[in-house]
Amino acid sequence: MNPGPRVVTYLFGNPNLPVTDTLIVSWLSIILIVIFARVATKRLTLKPGRLQNAVELLITSIHDQLEAMLPGEAMRFLPFIGTIFIYVGVGNLIGTVPGLVSPTGDLNLTLGLALVVFLVSHYEGVRDNGLWGYLKGFGEPVIFLLPLNIVGELARPISHSFRLFGNVVGGGIIISLIYQVAPGLIPVPLHAWFGLFVGLIQALIFGMIAIAYISVAKSG
Amino acid sequence: MVNINWTIFWQVINFLVLLWLLKRYLYGPITEILDKRSQKIENDLTEAETKKREAEDLRDKYEAELKKARKEAQDIIEEAEKRGRRKAREIITEAKKEAERIKESKLYEVNQAKKEALKEVRNELASLSLLIAGKLIQEKLDQGKHEALINQYIQELDQQRLGDLK
């Protein structure tokens, strides 16, 4: 039992460029997502079929959530937040396929996404409030809270990424322990619980927190 | 378990590539079709509104025309009734006049007949009286004297009782 990414090979034989199993599975999920998107949007009609309806429901749900938290800018952030949600969701769910690991159980993925969200939220904060206006916000309500605010700000991508990472890895550890202790069908509902339910919930939480960070940064 | 290495950049690049691909193949087409649909719904609604208004206009027009036609029919009926009543009145008046005229002429005829009859009766009475008088007094009198006497008597009678028949 060894949770976490395993190095499979090295790119160009360079020991600084490892290729892990999680990286390969994340490529696989990307390919699957893109194929699915292509199939789903190949023949879009004004009277949608089942698949189109489902995809539209997904997109409009994300859009409505965005519209509630970032009024008037839902269309601008829809691709970004939608991709985070879909990518993390598929990354969580694909771990339930036997022989595949969850790419979200790799801190490199979660931290990478959290850093992208971190950069985007600060970019949006500066964009909306001006550089000085945004920086001034860190000195409020009183200036001596500035270090605390900065630490809090830097903690965000860490908590953001470790929450997802911890949930997925923790779930995986519990599952493998139960597989070792209790044989047969007992682990199956637990595996479904951690793989499907927790996976989707965590994807939702990851996306919601990304929206919240951007929303907070925009308000200064 | 927790080791951060260069794959973090791969993961970021993965994410950005996926973002770009999904923007192109998922969000773009979906938002486009959603916009198109809402556009179509809006158009349909506007069109329906227009059609409804047109239909209402048409209905109002037809109703007004119907009302007009009914009123015209009513007018025609009233006119016909009026004319009928007038005609009836005329006929009645005509009939009354005719009746009056017939009555007049019949009365005239009757009067005429009465006059004739009286004249005849008078002549008859004269000769009868002469006969009776001749028999009664048994006196041979001149025929001419007798007639003068009788005529005088009758004259007197006329003046006293039959004067209005003259």
B39 touches chain A (CB under 8 A): no
Rounded to the nearest angstrom, the minimum Cα separation between B45 and chain A is: 15
Claim: this prediction has a pTM higher than 0.80: no
CA distance A101 to A6: 10
pLDDT over 50 (residue A215): yes
Spell out which residues of chain B touch residue A2, defining contact as CB-CB under 8 Å: 1
CA distance A40 to A52: 6
| DSSP reduced 3-state for B67 | helix
pLDDT at residue B163 in the model: 55
Query: Of residues A116 and A186, which shows the higher confidence score?
Result: A116
Rounded to the nearest angstrom, the minimum Cα separation between B44 and chain A is: 13
Write phi, then psi, for A8 (nearest 5 degrees). -95, -45
DSSP count for chain B of H helices, then E strands: 3, 0
| DSSP reduced 3-state for B141 | coil
In a domain, B104, yes or no: yes
* Torsion of the alpha carbons at B82, B83, B89 and B90, rounded to the nearest 10: 160
Closest CA to B37 of A110, A59, A106, A21: A59
B11 and A86 within 8 Å at the Cβ level: the answer is: no
pLDDT over 80 (residue B136): no
pLDDT over 90 (residue B81): yes
Task: Identify whether the C-beta of residue A104 lies closer than 8 Å to the C-beta of residue A166.
Answer: no
Write phi, then psi, for A77 (nearest 5 degrees). -95, -5
Closest CA to A218 of A137, A149, A145, A142: A137
Please name the residue of chain B whose CA is at the shortest distance from the CA of residue A28: B14
B31 and A33 within 8 Å at the Cβ level: the answer is: no
pLDDT at residue B161 in the model: 65
Closest CA to A137 of A116, A158, A152: A152
Task: Write out the H or E segment, with its range, that includes residue B152.
Answer: helix B143-157
In a domain, B2, yes or no: no
Query: Of residues B95 and B138, which shows the higher confidence score?
Result: B95
pLDDT in tens, B5-51: 778 888 899 899 999 999 888 888 888 888 888 999 999 999 999 99
Average pLDDT, chain B: 87
Query: Of residues A80 and A137, which shows the higher confidence score?
Result: A80
Spell out which residues of chain B touch residue A3, defining contact as CB-CB under 8 Å: 1
Domain span including residue B65: 7-164
pLDDT in tens, A157-175: 999 999 999 888 888 888 8
Task: Give the pLDDT band (50/70/90) at residue A1.
Answer: very low
Please name the residue of chain A whose CA is at the shortest distance from the CA of residue B18: A30
A3 and B31 within 8 Å at the Cβ level: the answer is: no
Write phi, then psi, for A20 (nearest 5 degrees). -100, 165
pLDDT over 90 (residue B56): yes
pLDDT at residue B162 in the model: 60
Rounded to the nearest angstrom, the minimum Cα separation between B46 and chain A is: 18
Spell out which residues of chain A touch residue B16, defining contact as CB-CB under 8 Å: 116
B7 and A78 within 8 Å at the Cβ level: the answer is: no
Is A132 buried (19+), middle (13-18) or exposed (0-12) by CB count in 10 A? Answer: exposed
Average pLDDT, chain A: 85
Nearest Cβ partner for A107 among B4, B26, B33: B4
Task: Give the pLDDT band (50/70/90) at residue A83.
Answer: very high
In a domain, B1, yes or no: no
Query: What percent of chain B shows pLDDT beyond 70?
Result: 92
CA distance B39 to A55: 19
CA-CA distances (angstroms) from residue A170 to A3, A177, B58?
9, 11, 72
In a domain, B98, yes or no: yes
CA distance A120 to A113: 10
b/e burial code for range A75-97 (CB count within 10 A of at least 16 → b): eebbbbbbbbbbbbbbbbbbbee
pLDDT at residue B1 in the model: 64
A83 and B1 within 8 Å at the Cβ level: the answer is: no
pLDDT at residue B138 in the model: 62
Task: Identify whether the C-beta of residue A107 lies closer than 8 Å to the C-beta of residue A161.
Answer: yes
Rounded to the nearest angstrom, the minimum Cα separation between B36 and chain A is: 8
Query: Of residues B3 and B53, which shows the higher confidence score?
Result: B53
Please name the residue of chain A whose CA is at the shortest distance from the CA of residue B1: A4
Q: What is the mean pLDDT of residues B127-152?
A: 76
B92 touches chain A (CB under 8 A): no
Rounded to the nearest angstrom, the minimum Cα separation between B51 and chain A is: 22
Query: What percent of chain A shows pLDDT beyond 90?
Result: 27
B108 touches chain A (CB under 8 A): no
CA distance B133 to B125: 11
Query: What percent of chain A shows pLDDT beyond 70?
Result: 95
Nearest Cβ partner for B26 among A30, A41, A45: A41
Structural domain tally of chain B?
A: 1
- The two tokens of residue A211 are 């929206």
B21 and A37 within 8 Å at the Cβ level: the answer is: yes
pLDDT over 60 (residue A48): yes
CA angle A158/A160/A164 to nearest 5° reads 110
B5 and A115 within 8 Å at the Cβ level: the answer is: no
CA distance A46 to B39: 10
Q: What is the DSSP letter of A1?
A: -
B1 touches chain A (CB under 8 A): yes
pLDDT in tens, A109-149: 899 999 999 999 999 888 888 888 888 888 777 788 888 88
- In this prediction the ipTM stands at 0.85
A45 and B36 within 8 Å at the Cβ level: the answer is: no
